A and B are shown apart, each in its own frame.
Chain A
Amino acid sequence: MSEPSKPQGRKFQLPEHLKVYKNVWVIVEQERGIVHSVSLELLGEARKLADKLGVEVGAVVLGAESPDLNRICGDAISYGADIVYKVTDPALADYRTDPYCRVMTEVVNTHKPEIVLLGATTLGRDLAGAIATTLATGLTADCTELDIYADNRSLAATRPTFGGTLLCTIQTLAYRPQMATVRPRVMAMPERDDARTGRVIEIQPDLREEDIVTKVLNFIADREQNEAQLAFADIIVSAGKGLGKVENMKLVFDLARVLGAEVGVTRPLVQAGWATNDRQVGQTGKTVRPKLYIAAGISGAIQHRVGMEKSDLILAINTDPNATIFDFAHLGLVGDALKILPALTDAFGRRLSVNRMAG
């Protein structure tokens, strides 16, 4: 691992030699031929930033040579990239910190992007923390908003702090590249455009498997497990403490079944053992962005809010007309969730089955 360079004193001006850093990059996260949706969302965001700066969008695709990888390179262009850096080596087939970090450090040092974006996923956060150290530059985690400051062309990365009670905007002024990670589903998915063209730069790093200490023995896919897939659900029915007792969780699951929805919960319910933590929405759980989010008996604590407030439509059901959740839900219903949930299940069921008979 190369020794990080030494910063000299507090600097706010970009040194002359770093002004050659240009373009906005996204490190595309792919595992076993599947691209993480956050990478496509980031390509859309990178496109906006690059257009403001008048530069190009670069996508870095790492992996072992395969037809899937070539398809992913094409997808990156369709979603907004001008240049794809296709980095292939058998040692990059599965994600491991050391080879990925070594290769990315070298590719960044060679091609000098001004901004590097990654998904705030287990892979993205693991890799970003490592390469920001080898590159000795600034990294802002879990951003919810990215913009360019017109006066100095620097990245303004806004992120929640103190569990979402505050937002702060962070900049890396005197170092390059400027790095940021963004949670899945925070940025909107861009439209795919197959008419877009771009160029692919092939890079074959000099990796030797015997130099890599960590070996992947096995991969156990979640598809074979029984985990909730909240992050990709179109509709989520979520429950909070207002449900009163664990037996009432059935009412939430009943409504979810009729709607083909997933069930989410607040942190206190996980702590109380009413649901497993794969269903937790919020600061220490999942960030979701469904088309419809039904919040039943949820007061609207900030820790929950940060995980679901970007939903297209939020319907809140709460007995307390002054509950915080009505401050940011789109639709509010003051009433007892225990009575309204079964009524919703019946009513949705009737409306949808009527149509089935008609159709």
Chain B
Amino acid sequence: MHIVVCIKQVPDSAQIRIHPVTNTIMRQGVPAIINPFDLFSLEEALRLKDKVGARVTVLTMGPPMAETSLRKALSLGADDAVLLTDRKFAGSDTLATSYALTSAIQKLAEEEPVDIVFCGKQTVDGDTAQVGPGIATRLGFEQLTYITRIEDLNIASKEIVVQRRSEGGVQVLKTKLPCMITMLEGTNTIRFGKMDDLFRAARYELKTWSRDFTGAEEGRVGLKGSPTVVSKVFVPKPRAEKAKMIEAASDTPDAMAAAAIDAIFAAQPKLADDLLARAAAGL
């Protein structure tokens, strides 16, 4: 079985700051990490490898420095790593990105057919959740997003049973390989790498693929292949007024609570009526 895990190297969003004067993102010194949502999918792929045996290839599209994330994935137990990198890919939106990644997955499939593609649910920098479905649609794979659990995988019959988070409940789905899976966050915990994998990752010779190599058409990647245009980037407008500070008669908790309730009901008289009606109804 051949599993491909698509990952993205992203800036650690918790540490991003905006330059106070120029209103641009200050990337200097912000550490690059594997998109946290990808780790749930990588872990699930590695668990399938442990359970039923599989070759796990990690794939990323990005600048040469994305090598760091691929080596990290190798150190956790992935077998192979492909870096899809080309200046022609710069500026790709989700449609162009899923096209470029699909061209690389098809190239991988020439070596060994791909049974499952794992993607992160979404990235923390783009937050779109569109690249996984884009890849599934292009490959004609069954699309399984927001998966909370892989219940069963039968290699012989190529059948897979999963639980999928949906609005208002959980769907239990049975489908066939090949499929594209995105795991919901919190469904597993990424393992610690083993020492020999760490050494192997350091020595591993990365496969670095260009657009020419995968055969992706020039007009369908980068800015040219991207229907969306970013027309404006700006910092959220701070609310015009800051909070109205509640002044209490004294600084005892009771006085402060009484003042707070008065302020709430003064600002939202309807809320007071609703609450009183509920209380009167004995709810």
Give A contacts to B, CB under 8 Å. Answer: 1, 4, 6-10, 12, 29, 31-32, 34, 36, 94-98, 101, 121-123, 125-126, 128-130, 132-134, 136-142, 156, 158-175, 213-223, 234-235, 259-260, 277, 283-284, 291-292, 303, 312-317, 325-336, 339-340, 342-344, 346-348, 351-353, 355-356, 359
User: Is A220 touching B175 in the complex (CB atoms < 8 A)?
Assistant: no
B9 on the interface (CB 8 Å rule)? no
Residue with the highest number of chain A CB atoms closer than 10 Å, among B99, B128, B138, B268: B128
Interface flags for B82-125 (1: CB within 8 Å of A; 0: not) read 00000000000111001100000000000000000000000011
**One of A96, A170, A174, A347 near B261 (C-beta < 8 A):** A347
Q: Contacts A162-B25, A219-B169, A291-B268 given; indicate if A9 touches B224 (C-beta within 8 A).
A: yes
User: A94 to B171, Cβ gap below 8 A?
Assistant: yes
B190 on the A face (CB < 8 A): no
Closest A residue to B235 by beta carbon equals: A166
Interfacial chain A residues near B142, Cβ < 8 Å: 97-98, 213-214
CB pair A172 B227 closer than 8 Å: yes
Residues of A close to B192: CB separation below 8 A = none
- Nearest-neighbor residue (CB-CB) of A119 within chain B: B167
Q: How far does the Cβ of B202 sit from chain A's closest Cβ, in whole Å?
A: 30
Residues in A neighbouring B175, C-beta threshold 8 A: 213-215
Among B17, B217, B236, B261, chain A packs the most CB atoms within 10 A around the CB of B236
CA distance A235 to B264 in the complex (A): 12
In the complex, the answer to whether B126 meets A125 with C-beta atoms within 8 Å is no
Could you give 6 example pairs across A and B, Cβ below 8 Å?
A6-B217, A34-B168, A133-B134, A138-B226, A165-B25, A331-B246
| Contact, CB under 8 Å: A217 / B134 | no
Residues in A neighbouring B238, C-beta threshold 8 A: 327-328
Q: A339 to B167, Cβ gap below 8 A?
A: no
Q: Judging by beta carbons under 8 Å apart, are A133 and B137 in contact?
A: yes
What are the residues of chain B within 8 A of A353 when measuring CB–CB? 279
| Cross-chain contact B219 with A162 (CB below 8 angstroms) | no
User: What chain B residues lie within 8 Å of A170 (beta carbons)?
Assistant: 228-231
Q: Are B134 and A234 in contact (CB under 8 A)?
A: no
- The reply to whether A343 and B228 contact each other, CB–CB distance below 8 Å, is no
> Nearest chain B CB to A233's CB is how many angstroms away?
13
CB atoms of A138 and B93 under 8 A apart: yes
Task: State A7–B274 Cα separation when bound (angstroms).
Answer: 55
- Cα distance A78–B5 in the bound complex, in angstroms: 45
> Are A222 and B168 touching (Cβ within 8 A)?
yes
Residues in chain B near residue A7, CB distance under 8 A = 219-220, 224-225, 227
- Tell me if B206 counts as interface (CB < 8 A to partner A): no
B127 to A141, Cβ gap below 8 A? yes
Query: Which residues in B have some Cβ–Cβ distance to A below 8 Å?
Result: 11, 13-14, 16-18, 25, 93-95, 98-99, 124-134, 136-138, 140, 142-146, 161, 164-176, 185-186, 217, 219-220, 223-236, 238-239, 242-246, 251, 253-254, 256-261, 263-264, 267-268, 270-271, 274-276, 278-280, 282-283
Check if B230 sits within 8 Å of A132, measured CB to CB: no
B166-A303 in contact (CB<8A): no
Q: Is the interface of B mostly helix, strand, loop or mixed?
A: mixed
Known: A140-B228, A303-B13, A327-B238. 13 other contacts (CB 8 A): A126-B133, A139-B94, A160-B127, A161-B126, A161-B127, A165-B16, A165-B25, A169-B233, A170-B231, A291-B268, A331-B263, A344-B260, A356-B279
Chain B neighbourhood of A291, CB < 8 A: 268, 270-271, 274
CB nearest to A302 among chain B residues = B236
Given A121-B167, A161-B127, A162-B125, verify A332-B136 contact (CB < 8 Å).
Answer: no
A304 CA to B33 CA, complexed, in Å: 21
Q: How far is the CA of A356 from the CA of B283 in the complex (A)?
A: 10
Query: In the complex, A34 Cα to B169 Cα: how many Å?
Result: 12
- Residues of chain B lying within 8 A (CB to CB) of residue A125: 129-130, 133, 145
Q: Residue of A at shortest CB range from B245?
A: A332
B253 to chain A: which residues have CB within 8 Å?
335-336, 339-340, 342-343
Q: Are B264 and A219 in contact (CB under 8 A)?
A: no
Q: Are B166 and A343 in contact (CB under 8 A)?
A: no
Do the beta carbons of B251 and A171 come within 8 Å of each other? no
Complex contacts, B186 vs chain A, CB 8 Å: 277
B173 to chain A: which residues have CB within 8 Å?
A: 96, 214-217
CA A159 – CA B277 in complex, angstroms? Answer: 38
User: Measured between alpha carbons, how far is A45 from B261 in the docked complex, in Å?
Assistant: 34
